[in-house]
Amino acid sequence: MSSTPTNLIDFLVNQANGVKGLADLHPPSVPHQYIQPHQARLDHTKILPQESIPIIDFTNWDDPHVQDSIFDAATKWGFFQIVNHGIPFKALDDIKVVVHRFFELPAEEKKRLKENSPPEVVRLATSFSPNAESVLEWKDYLQLVYASEEKIQSHWPAICKDQALEYMKHAEVLIRKLLKVLLKKLNVKELDNAREHTLMGSMILGLNYYPACPDPEVVAGVGPHSDISSITVLLQDDIGGLYVRGSDGDSWIYVPPVEGALVINIGDVLQILSNEKYKSIEHRVVANRSETRISIPIFVNPAPDVVVGPLAEVLENGDEPKYKPVLYSDYFKYFFSKAHDGKKTIQFAMI
């Protein structure tokens, strides 16, 4: 029987084995570093089986009825799924395949990539922020920054570069449409270059890998958090494991995998820009006992130099701003300097 490596952080982080490497050792039980205190675990009595987030057909996205249903879903739930979004099924399937291929690479190869990649373009990590966490998360992830074509060509890993780029090129079209609809409802008429810089000036493609876990009830795949994006566009596989906060703030709602669908959620930046007309919603992931789960979020973020604060258009009616202007790169650094902790990050920008 294999045992847990003596220096777990060195094994996971420095040797780039990640939790995938740990799961491959088939440890008899989950190492204590992953065990969540009871009160942090998902309480199954809090799951609302009868509730679900809306599924919206995006075919006629500029039809006012469709735009109303997007607005309703974004304000009521902060989370919805879209189908007929225009990204070819092949692009979705191809990216899912290469996520598995990437994480199945030998640790030495992932270590080389980790050591040789400029962090402003490629970041390979495990858990969330292992140096800041008292309990680790059962997840490895790769972040590919949608930077210049030249940086992408030089630094995105060859094993997934073409598929990731193809996916992003399609997704970018969809993201513009979604932002246009969400902005229109805030009285912002146009997604001009300045607005694009503010809302989607730095996009990150995340490849998330949750190996099968011998005791998924006691670990967090991802702990409760809200995203720090303007919006997030998430592709999940057919394993399931994502839960979002119910509107009472105490319950959880399961987000079932829907063939060909994308999950859209509002992030903190849109909550701040809209002065809370839109709200970012907490969500969490539970790993699977028998199968690896993958998911692929696109974090649609402001450029690092953007000062984020409530938009003039939303304050026109005389509402008091609830947030002060913050530099997005400071907000980003702050998020990664601590463990996932529900919706606490946004306090950084509160007045």
Ligand X SMILES: O=C(O)CCC(=O)C(=O)O
Q: Please say which residue, 268 or 310, places its beta carbon nearer to ligand X.
A: 268
Which residue among 99, 175, 261, 285 contacts ligand X (CB under 6 A)? 285
Q: Does 127 bind ligand X (CB under 6 A)?
A: no
Binding site for Fe ion (CB under 5 A): 227
SS3 308: strand
Q: State in angstroms the smallest separation of the CB of 343 from ligand X.
A: 13
Q: Please say which residue, 25 or 40, places its beta carbon nearer to ligand X.
A: 40
Q: Please say which residue, 13 or 262, places its beta carbon nearer to ligand X.
A: 262
CA of residue 3 relative to chain centroid, distance:
32
Indicate the pairing of strand 55-57 with strand 79-83: parallel
**224 token code pair:** 């409760």
Residues 201-240 that bind ligand X (CB under 6 A): 206, 208, 222, 227, 234, 236
What is the secondary structure of 127-186 as a DSSP string? SS-TTT-SS-BS-EEEEEE---HHHHHHHS-TTTHHHHHHHHHHHHHHHHHHHHHHHHTT
Residues in binding contact with ligand X, number by CB under 6 A: 11
Q: Please say which residue, 236 or 280, places its beta carbon nearer to ligand X.
A: 236
Residues 238-267 that bind ligand X (CB under 6 A): 242
| CA gap 125, 129 in Å, rounded | 8
> Which residues lie across from 225 on neighbouring strands?
283, 342
| CA gap 48, 269 in Å, rounded | 28
CA of residue 329 relative to chain centroid, distance:
17
Residues 296-325 that bind ligand X (CB under 6 A): 297
Q: Please say which residue, 7 or 337, places its beta carbon nearer to ligand X.
A: 337
Q: State in angstroms the smallest separation of the CB of 202 from ligand X.
A: 16
Q: Which residues bind ligand X (CB under 6 A)?
A: 206, 208, 222, 227, 234, 236, 242, 283, 285, 295, 297
